[in-house]
Structure 1
Amino acid sequence: MIIGIETGIEDAQAINCGHISPYVMHEGTITKPSLDSGVPLGLAELASEPTTVGWFRFPHGATLLLSTDGLTETRAPDGTFYPVDERLKKLDPSPTDLPQALFEDSLAFAGQGGRHDDVAVLTVRWSPAR
């Protein structure tokens, strides 16, 4: 995922290079911007279409959550995938603590006998200028 934010504007632009869509959390709401998923970085010559830039709302005070598919592909012992959307609604940590909280929650979800792959989670907070 390549993200660009222009200072003073409450929109962000992103190029999705084959990753799962980000989440935008703001004032108790969680949205998932609709971005076209392109091919992974370094493989653009294999794509028949050019890379497209998507725009989405990213207001001041919002938190952008980015993660790898290791989070979404975590499985419980019965094979159920980790429901990120549902779990995000139940977790309420600060943006700083959210990556660790999601990781720990996904480990608990997988439990003994579940599957847990490598996970990367990043939060970006859009803070007003001081």
Structure 2
Amino acid sequence: MLTITQALVDQIVAHARKDHPDEACGVVAGPAGSDRPERFIPMLNAAMSPTFYEFDSGDLLKLYREMDDRDEEPVVIYHSHTATEAYPSRTDISYANEPGAHYVLVSTADTDGAGEFQFRSFRIVEGAVTEEEVQVVEAY
């Protein structure tokens, strides 16, 4: 189960809506071994595409060095789908290389910035996708 604060959910959804019609992507880091998302890190979608996201390799290297220096790890890896449901695509599954992370997908399909959205979390390990419950809390 992913336990996440309402403030982080709001930041992820706002980023997805801001970058629409392109996919948004980013990371929420947390203390190593805690499984507690704390630090919101929006990233640039280097692909600048409505159907695909890609972290810039230089930005990603910098992020991992920074997380290492802060004794953090990627607790949540998120991105948006702009025209489909919030479910990992074959490409998403093939690029999922953090077995301990929660992969959050937000769908901005059929929204104008004020409508409903999907916010779902998955574990992706060796190509196997498992949806998990999301518990939204005010604080940890």
TM-score of the superposed pair, with normalisation by structure 2: 0.29
Greater strand content: 2
TM-score of the superposed pair, with normalisation by structure 1: 0.30
